[in-house]
Amino acid sequence: MGMEDDIQKDFLAESRENMELLDQQFVELESEPDNAELIKSIFRTIHTIKGTSGFFGFNTLEGIAHFAEDILSKLRDGIVAVNEKITTVLLQAVDHINAILASLEQTGKEPDELEHLDFIVELRDFAEKLETSRDTTPDQKGGSPEGTKTNETDASAQAGPEDENPTQCPAKSRKDETSGESEKTDLPGEKVSPVSGQEPKAEKPERSSSPTTYKASDMKQGFGRTPQLTESHIRVDVNLLDRLMNLAGELVLSRNRMVQIAGQLNNQELLQANQRMSLVVTEMQEQIMQTRMQPVGNVFNKFPRIVRDLARQAKKQVQLRIEGAETELDRSIIEIIKDPITHMVRNSIDHGIEKPDTRTANGKPPGGTLTMRAYHEGGQVIIEIEDDGAGIDAQIIRRKAVDKGVLGEVQAEALSDRDALLLIFQAGFSTAEQVTNISGRGVGMDVVKSNIEKLGGAVDIQSRIGRGTTVRIKIPLTLAIIPALIVNTAGQRYAIPQVNLVELFRLSDESVERNIQIVGGSEYYRLRGQILPLIRLRRVLGLKEKEPRNGLNIVVLNNGDKNFGLVVDGINDSEEIVVKPLGSHLKHIDCYAGTTLMGDGRVALILDVVGMTAALNLQSDKPMERSLSQEESIVTAEERQFILLFSVGPEEYFAIPLALVSRLDKITPDDLEMVSGQEVIQYRGRSIPVIRLENYLPISPLPEQDEYHLIVFHLNDKDIACLVSGIDDSLDMAVEVEEQMFRQEGIVGSAIINDHTTLFLDIYQIIELHDPSFFSGSCHETRVGRILLAEDSTFYRNLLSSYMVAAGYDVVVAEDGRQGWEKFKQEEIDLVITDIEMPHMDGLELTRKIRSHEVNSDVPVIAVTSLTGDSHRQRGLEAGINDYQMKLDRERVLSSVHELMDT
Amino acid sequence: MGSQSDFPIEQQSDAKEKSVAFQNEDTAHFVTFYFAEHFFGLPISEVVEINRSLEITPVPLAQPYVAGIVNLRGQIITAVNLARRIELAMNTESVDEFEYHNVILGRHNEPVSLLAERIGDVVEIPVSQIEPPPSLIEGMKVEYIKHVCKLPGQLLIILDGDSLQRPDTADTGEPDTSTSPAVN
């Protein structure tokens, strides 16, 4: 029983393999109808299936194989010549055989479906008709005499062994349903003697004139495979190989430990023995790795058939060229790239290659060429899908993008052709004028891209109108072993795949303070003039922020789209790591790509750079970054602020500190919705209230525009947005604000910027005017306490003081440290808020004085600055400052005040 | 690598045959272990092996019941904190500070390591004494409990290996090829 099971399994596996080969061979046969070797090879495959299925008693399978063999024998013997009809029927037979094999594999039984039986009848009829039809349809094909000749000679030479059918005659072993029919036909093909000179037949001119580009070696390999396989190949369960890989990894670790011990013992003999073992183990690991490599041809070889079917469906003529099928790739990668490649091939045939008449009209050959190419480049494998079709018109893509609301018109126009092409990888794009059942609705290219990026690969597209399109996929050789950078954070090691790595650098405390800017809650660093967003790994992983720091280690990574800096505690080393998948309990976490074993036998997580940024929602806030990169003046630690300038209507200019802005966006009037009398927009599935400034300020109303700008604030854990006409500029300036001229709720003051009178908004007040309950629940309970506020800038002094007053505190203001110190001595103060940089006496000095005061030395002190930096913080803490806040972050300042007041 | 088994439970057929034989006499074998004062058991057929504490690598952002990942002879498996998994009410607050033992489950699917505080004996119990769990057991989630058995002096809580192993997340994904047992 077990024995038979094993044989059956072998049979299935072998048949599967052969069937894959068949697909390819049939398509080849169409373009080379005279290739006798090819026909014989196909015949042999079918013949083997027939024989073996008879042995196991798979009647349906045997029936189909039998009649397919019938047709093939006629081809082989030159009774009929290959034509499209025959190929189609034979391919159908292959499909049925595949379906039955699949069912056998799953259930161990043949499927009961009638369609297979129906097909047997059809196939038999076809086989019978073939003989008679050859006389009636000679006009269908023209012919090449040489080909026929070789065909015949080969056929007669081969006829002997092939004709001797195996002992189990199918007609006898087949019972039930097929028996009746089979007796009638009884292997007619083999009995008809070859008729010579009968077929001056060949293929359609364009087919035979364009030779396929399978290399001769591929052919040989293909044909020789069946007999060779049994001698030199065995089938191994893939799981077994995986386990072997695991164990080899473990062996390497054990070896490392041994080498360590031998070194400690300093035993020469042991060291030598170890060295020998090291070599063997390393080599063994390499060999085991090798077992996972497969030629990419395993995927490519499925395409002749797919291309043929698709081309027929689309009524186009497509010739497939395959190059570099022998390029080797890891088994797991091959499996993953299959679908993306299929998708792109479909796209090429459906959208790329034109109909024959269009092509002819454009002076191209009627048949298009699709090239699939694989090769190694720089330790990676490149796969290219190239067509000579119509190309992609960037202008059409732009228009589509605007129509579909993916981009605004201005944005779309600003895109380079290259960037516009990349839009097809976004969800919801389909450029075909008509959606066909081949390419679907443009869903997919985005999936293609994300699937490939998940592998650590990249997709690129190049296209020339009228000349064709090339899609280029870059993928790593193997997923199993990758070079990685090991970093550590919070006492654990993490591996970062080297493909994502751009560079490493380290910032001293001083440089951290000077060069890291905080905008809208995110940190940015200027690296050689480029703005680099910084992400702290501890924050990403939800770990505690590190308290004392000693410079920053920054790993610059690329997520396939843009660079960003990952702040880690430490950088260890570069290593080749063995990637192991995450268990099902952890798979859902986007930040991890897998796990790996480190040299000491401990486990480390592999970070998923793409997933990590997706989780963080790292968006390209272009205006925000531009604002940072455009700012010309050198940033000093003093009272300079990034100011965002915007306008409402043609004449109303406003400014707000950029630090308060969480995001800038553009919307069209259609995006605005009215919900219970309030304007909102939908953003990431949530409704954000929209404020029109003219409702709260005496200004002209926002004119009707095709597109509005949106300034989004994230305050009190809620989003709220301001609708404005345009974002004009952003600059880094020393804030000199005139507070007297415009005394108005919602306005802090005014200044002349770029020759315009510009109003500085108090966005907190405006939001409160719009929604009095917006800030409730966080910091609006009335408080008691007297706060000393020492701040030399009138603007900030008034701003901060207004926050404190609004929160219910008494505020005593001082214009510098010295005045502050005087007032501190005179009045009863519960808490001090001080600027650091002030004339006469700075905030640190003030703090030190307070700390040495005989009575009130324990009054809490909060320091505020416009820029945060760590050495400040350090010095501040040393001077006795309790907390450190950014001036403009009202919420943080207030919560810090509440907290310190309460203690 | 500290992965010597305390109680290597043979995976070979003789172990299976034995348990089958006992079942014929209407008894079943359970691997037992303790967490706080509670006494737990798992059918011996579900337990692969028991290991003294393997080094656990924490996984930030994972579900609270995931203690981390451990290396079991080259295979990386998820360590599940039993107390957190079944939401065990504990007298001690320091659920995470024990020296754990790893009870490796998963003869049939992806293995996980169940962290237990103390390992007990393998007990043989007449099948007739095994009862369905009451609808409520104070201090733990009943969905992870398959049966209970009243032993002299204590209640043996027989856990449901499958539901302990099943991930909590909505997207369970396909089983990993490398961790699922070979299909032969």
- Structure confidence by residue, pLDDT tens digits, A367-397: 889 999 998 876 678 899 999 888 888 888 8
Q: Is the pLDDT of residue A175 over 50?
A: no
> Which tops the pLDDT comparison, A165 or A547?
A547
Q: What is the mean pLDDT of residues A392-412?
A: 78
CA distance A248 to A407: 52
State the CB neighbour count (10 A cutoff) for residue A447: 14
Residue A608 to residues A380, A385, A577, B56: CA-CA distances in angstroms?
Answer: 19, 27, 14, 21
End-of-domain residue from the set A620, A649, A674:
A620
Q: What is the pLDDT of residues A59-104, one digit of tens each?
A: 788 888 888 888 887 877 777 777 778 888 888 888 888 888 888 8
Q: What's the CATH architecture for B5-165? A: Beta Barrel (2.40)
Of B62, B70, B177, the CB nearest to A586: B62
Give chain A's domain count. 6
Both A72 and A199 in one domain: the answer is yes
Choosing among B179, B180, B183, B184, which should be mutated to test the A contact, i.e. which has the most A CBs within 10 A?
B179
Is residue A662, in this structure, part of any structural domain at all? yes
Q: Which residue has the tokens 């972050």?
A: A889
Residues A100 and A207 both lie in one domain: yes
What integer is the mean pLDDT of A696-722?
Answer: 80
Contact A298, A335 (CB under 8 A): no
Q: Which of residues 126-145 of B touch A (CB under 8 A)?
A: none
Question: Domain with A16 in it: what CATH number?
Answer: 1.20.120.160
Bridging pattern class, strands B112-116 and B75-81: parallel
Q: Distance from B177 to chain A by nearest Cα, in Å?
A: 7
Q: Does A414 touch chain B if contact means CB atoms closer than 8 Å?
A: no
Q: So what's the ipTM on this one?
A: 0.78
What's the mean pLDDT in A192-202? 39
Banded model confidence at residue A187, pLDDT cuts 50, 70, 90: very low
Q: Between chains, do B177 and A238 touch, taking CB under 8 Å as contact?
A: yes
Choose from A288, A585, A587 for mutation: most chain B CBs within 10 A.
A585
Residues in chain B: 184
Predicted pLDDT at A498: 85
Among B11, B65, B69, the strongest candidate for a mutation testing the A interface, having the largest count of A CBs within 10 A, is: B69
For residue A592, the chain B residues in CB contact (below 8 A) are 59
Q: How much of chain A exceeds pLDDT 70, in percent?
A: 77
Cross-chain Cβ contact A580/B71 below 8 Å: no
Closest residue on chain A to B73 (Cα): A250
Q: State yes or no: pLDDT of A602 exceeds 50.
A: yes
| Residue B91 touches partner A, C-beta closer than 8 Å | no
Any CB–CB contact under 8 A between B153 and chain A?
Answer: no
Q: Are A721 and A681 in contact (CB under 8 A)?
A: yes
CATH assignment at residue A365: 3.30.565.10
Structural domain of residue A314, as residue ranges? 297-476
The answer to whether A581 contacts B167, with C-beta atoms less than 8 Å apart, is no
Least confident range of A6-10, A778-782, B135-139: A778-782
Same domain? For A825 and A867 the reply is yes
Task: Give tens-digit pLDDT for A423-473.
Answer: 777 766 654 444 444 444 344 677 777 777 767 678 888 888 888 889 888
B60 → closest Cβ in A542, A584, A597 = A542
Q: Is the Cα torsion angle A115, A116, A117, A123 positive or negative in sign?
A: positive
A792 CB-near residues (< 8 Å, 6+ apart): A639, A815, A816, A835, A837, A838, A839
The CB density around residue A780, as the number of other CB atoms within 10 Å, is: 17
Q: What is the CA radius of gyration of chain A?
A: 38
Residue A776 lies in a domain: no
Q: What is the pLDDT of residue A475?
A: 82
> Lowest mean pLDDT: which of A4-13, A212-221, A331-340, A530-539?
A212-221
Answer yes or no: do B178 and A589 touch at CB < 8 A: no
Residue A238: list chain B partners with CB under 8 A.
177
- Tokens read off for A85: 């009809």
Distance of residue A30 Cα from the nearest chain B Cα, in angstroms: 39
Residue percentage of chain A with pLDDT more than 90: 3
A-chain residues within 8 Å CB-CB of B183?
237, 239
Asked if B55 and A591 come within 8 Å (Cβ–Cβ), the reply is no
- Whether chain B has a CB inside 8 Å of the CB on A604: the answer is yes
Residues A534, A443 share a domain: no
pLDDT digits (tens, 9 = 90+) for A608-664: 887 787 766 554 444 444 444 444 333 333 455 667 888 887 778 888 877 677 777
Residue A779 maps to a domain: no
Q: Give the Cα-Cα-Cα angle B74, B77, B83 (nearest 5 degrees).
A: 145
Q: In the predicted model, what is the mean pLDDT of residues A208-222?
A: 39
CB contact under 8 A, B74 and A250: yes
Q: Are residues A742 and A801 in the same domain?
A: no
DSSP 8-state code for residue A701: P
Do A490 and A472 share a domain, yes or no? no
Amino acid at A729: D
Model pLDDT, residue B93: 55
Please say if the pLDDT value at position A230 is more than 70. no
CB contact under 8 A, A239 and B167: no
Average pLDDT, chain B: 76
**pLDDT at residue A398 greater than cutoff 90:** no
- Arithmetic mean of pLDDT over chain A: 74
CA distances from B159 to A74, A860, B79, B165 (A): 67, 54, 16, 11
Q: Which residues of B fall within a CB distance of 8 Å from A2? A: none
> A9 and A152 share a domain?
yes
What residue in A sits closest to B170 (Cα-Cα)? A588
Q: Does A574 touch chain B (CB under 8 A)?
A: no
Q: Is residue A227 part of a domain?
A: no
Q: Which of A237, A543, A588 sits opposite B184 (nearest CB)?
A: A237
* A95-122: pLDDT as tens digits: 888 888 888 877 777 777 777 778 888 8
**Are A643 and A690 members of one domain?**
yes
Least confident of A282-291, A519-528, A630-639: A630-639
Element (DSSP H or E) covering residue B108: none
Q: What confidence tens digit (pLDDT) does each residue in A740-752 have? A: 666 677 787 777 7
Q: State which residue of chain A sits closest to B173, comparing Cα positions.
A: A584
Cβ distance B57 to A237 less than 8 Å, yes or no, reads: no
Whether residue B164 lies within 8 A of chain A, CB to CB, comes out as: no
For residue B68, the chain A residues in CB contact (below 8 A) are 603
Asked if residue A793 and residue A722 are part of one domain, the reply reads no
Nearest-by-Cβ selection for A583 from B110, B170, B183: B110
Q: Give exposure, A699-735, as e/b (b: 16+ Cβ within 10 Å).
A: beebeeeeebbbbbbbbbeebbbbbbbebbbbbbbeb
CA A879, chain centre distance (Å):
49
The strands making up A530-536's β-sheet, listed across from edge to edge, are A501-507, A552-558, A563-568, A530-536, A522-527, A516-519
Are A269 and A140 found together in one domain? no
- Note whether B19 contacts A: Cβ–Cβ < 8 A: no
When CB atoms are compared, the residue of A581, A583, A597 closest to B71 is A597
Q: Is the per-residue pLDDT at A783 higher than 70?
A: no
Query: Given an 8 Å threshold on Cβ–Cβ distance, is A541 in contact with B169?
Result: no
Which residue among A291, A310, A329 closes a domain?
A291
C-alpha dist (Å) from residue B7 to A350, A495, B23: 62, 34, 22
Q: Report if residue A233 sits inside a domain.
A: no
Closest-approach residue (CA) in chain B for A590:
B61
Q: Are residues A468 and A505 in the same domain?
A: no
Q: By the 8 A CB rule, do B156 and B148 touch?
A: yes
pLDDT computed for residue B68 by the predictor: 92
**Domain residue spans of chain B:** 5-165
Angle at A135 between CA A134 and CA A136, to 5 degrees: 95
Same domain, yes or no, for A377 and A316? yes
Of A715, A721, A813, A723, the residue nearest A773 (C-alpha)? A715
